[in-house]
Chains A and B, each alone.
Chain A
Amino acid sequence: EVQLLESGGGLMQPGGSLRLSCAASGFIFSNYAMSWVRQAPGKGLEWVSDISGSGDSTYYADSVEGRFTISRDNSKNTLDLQMNSLRAEDTAVYYCAKQRSSNGGSLNYWGHGTLVTVSS
Chain B
Amino acid sequence: DIQMTQSPSSLSASVGDRVTITCRASQGISKYLAWYQQKPGKVPKLLIYAASTLQSGVPSRFSGSGSGTDFTLTISSLQPEDVATYYCQKYNTAPFTFGPGTKVDIK
Contact = CB atoms under 8 A, between A and B. Distances in A.
Interface of A: 35, 37, 44-47, 50, 59-62, 95, 100, 104-108, 110-113
B54 to A, nearest CB: 12
Nearest to A65: B95
Interface stretch (B17-25, B43-51, B66-74): B43-51
Nearest to B55: A108
Interface centre among A59, A106, A111, by most chain B C-beta atoms within 10 angstroms, is A106
A50 B94 contact: yes
Interface string B65-107: 0000000000000000000010101010011111111000000
A44 B43 contact: no
6 contacts: A45-B89, A60-B94, A100-B46, A105-B32, A106-B89, A108-B46
B94 A112 contact: no
Nearest to B33: A106
A117 B90 CA distance: 28
Contact of A106 (B43, B49, B100): B49
Given A35-B96, A47-B89, 11 more contacts: A37-B44, A37-B98, A45-B36, A45-B98, A46-B98, A61-B95, A106-B34, A106-B46, A110-B43, A110-B45, A113-B43
B7 interface: no
Nearest to A61: B95
B95 A106 contact: no
A107 B44 CA distance: 9
B85 to A, nearest CB: 7
Q: Which 5 A-B pairs have the closest CB atoms?
A: A106-B34, A59-B94, A106-B49, A44-B101, A45-B98
A53 B49 CA distance: 20
Contacts of A104: 91
A62 B97 CA distance: 11
A105 to B, nearest CB: 5
Interface centre among B1, B55, B96, by most chain A C-beta atoms within 10 angstroms, is B96
B49 A111 contact: no
B50 to A, nearest CB: 8
